[in-house]
A and B are shown apart, each in its own frame.
Chain A
Amino acid sequence: MDNVQYTQMTDYNTSPVFDMDKALNRVHGKQELLARVISIFKKNLQEKKQSIASELTAENWDNLKMISHSLKGSAWTIGAQRLGEIAYAMEKASATEDISSFKHLLTILEESIDDINTYFEHHNY
């Protein structure tokens, strides 16, 4: 019987999907610059999601740790708090090569990526 207690999406719901004030503050209130960095962030998010999937197949833990770490840094920088926290948990799961936790977190990450993309669409980014 599997007694492992996984984190759930609801565990991350207290963190905002996107903190607009933080993001604007980061770019000194420059809307054009914010649009540019969000566009790069969205592109990178898709690339990282695909890289995680392929590295997971190969169980390449060093690369998984690197990608999760990078995702954490960029997410927190731009104010994508929830994604940053999930990526941080993935980075820790990579360090211990905990494949079941990592796979579980990946499903939460995918859901969270959908949420942030919806947020960006609603805000015309």
Chain B
Amino acid sequence: MKKNNIRFLIVEDDEMIRIIHKDFLEELFPDCKIFEAANAAQGICLYFECRPHLILLDMMMPLMGGETFLDILEEGHRTKILKEKPKIVIVTAIKDVKELMEIGKRFSVEAVISKPLVQSQLKALLEDWIS
């Protein structure tokens, strides 16, 4: 993935956390484009509209949660409707280890990071993926 024109999608219901994620990404990648969704339904619409390279996804959100978002994208890949496979990083306040492990095993998930987000962890991942 190239630094220039990289597209991020933030799917997170908490406006405050979206702002903090956005500021963090803009600091790291000043030329990036960032799209924001407040729930998974909006996230899916934006996904098809902006085709992000990387997605920061919250799991527990009102109306439609992260699990449904993953279900839809995985179904898209299974049926070959979706060609690209964006890197999805789950950022969640879920503390149950079993639940976190189940999420981490999913086909579409690259990494699971606990809230509050340790920005150095995410930075290390992104720098590994994006040159």
Residue ranges of A at the interface with B (Cβ–Cβ < 8 Å) = 26-28, 30, 33, 36-37, 40-41, 44, 66, 69-70, 72-74, 76-78, 88
Residue ranges of B at the interface with A (Cβ–Cβ < 8 Å) = 13-17, 19-20, 23-24, 27, 58, 60, 62, 92-95, 115-117, 119
> How far is the CB of A27 from the nearest CB of chain B, in Å?
6
B16 touches A78 (CB 8 A): yes
> How far is the CB of B24 from the nearest CB of chain A, in Å?
8
Q: A28-B27, A76-B116, A77-B115 are in contact. Are A70 and B16 (CB under 8 A)?
A: no
Q: Is the interface of A mostly helix, strand, loop or mixed?
A: helix
Set of chain A residues within 8 Å of B95, measured between Cβ atoms: 88
CB-nearest residue of chain A to B14: A74
> How far is the CB of A23 from the nearest CB of chain B, in Å?
10
> How far is the CB of B84 from the nearest CB of chain A, in Å?
29
28 contacts between A and B (CB under 8 A): A26-B119, A28-B23, A30-B23, A36-B19, A37-B16, A37-B19, A40-B15, A40-B19, A41-B16, A44-B14, A66-B60, A69-B93, A70-B13, A70-B14, A70-B60, A73-B14, A73-B17, A73-B58, A73-B92, A73-B93, A73-B115, A76-B115, A76-B116, A77-B20, A77-B115, A77-B116, A77-B117, A78-B16
